[in-house]
Amino acid sequence: MMRSRKKSISVAKLYEMHPKFKGGYDPCYNPNLVKDRGDFSFDMSRKGRIQEPLLLENKIDISGYKETLSGSEENDLLYGIDAINYGECINVVGWAFLKKEKRTGKVKLLLVNESGDQYIFETEMTQRYDLKYLYMSKHLRDAGFLSFISWKLSKGKYHIFVMLGDEIVNTTYDIVVNS
């Protein structure tokens, strides 16, 4: 019993000496060191990571791909898009892997506008421990992806396709650019 009283006295003294700690401040915490960033890099801004649109001259034939729901096992390529955030850039967060091999690789996003123009964007790998446990494969830990897409796309609606190796999946997601 005395031990817990001593502990609470020392915590109270700590808060008295350092009032910022009481509000949750931690001088040792660094938001740049997060376990879900694959390379644990220090990136103080996204400016170097935002990708400009690259118009494909040789279009990819996407006519045979019907829309597939996130997580659907109809295709060899399983995918999920967790979020599309609009801010400094368009940020698409998700995961993708090849079902048969239960392996992942470099994911690309193909955006197709209403005129049929196609733009391709690289993604960054992120770690997804939930997939590792859900699909019982340690190789899926790196199946997450993250993209930073520039606002320099022309105004309109863009449909998202996810690409991994030779596999392509037609998602049920769109990006809308208003300016």
Tokens at residue 105, please? 């690789």
Q: How many helices, marked H, and strands, marked E, lie in the chain?
A: 3, 8
Tokens at residue 138, please? 């340690």
Q: Distances in Å between the alpha carbon of 110 and those of 43, 107, 142?
A: 25, 10, 20
Specify whether 80 is located in the same domain as 140: yes
Specify whether 133 is located in the same domain as 168: yes
Q: Which residue, among 48, 89, 88, 59, has the nearest Cα to 161 in the 3D structure?
A: 59
Q: Where is pLDDT greater, at 92 or 13?
A: 92
Specify whether 25 is located in the same domain as 53: no
DSSP SS3 for 171: strand
Asked whether residue 167 carries a pLDDT value surpassing 80, the answer given is yes
Q: If you average pLDDT over residues 44-50, what whole number do you get?
A: 62
Asked whether residue 11 carries a pLDDT value surpassing 80, the answer given is no
Res 44: pLDDT? 45
Res 74: pLDDT? 77
Res 4: pLDDT? 53
Please compute Rg for the chain using Cα positions: 22
Structure confidence at residue 41 as a pLDDT band (50, 70, 90): low
Specify whether 77 is located in the same domain as 106: yes
Please give the residue range of the domain that contains residue 24.
Answer: 1-30
Provide the whole-model pTM. 0.70
Tokens at residue 148, please? 């930073």
Average pLDDT score over the chain: 81
Specify whether 61 is located in the same domain as 137: yes
Domains contained in the chain, number: 2
Specify whether 72 is located in the same domain as 135: yes
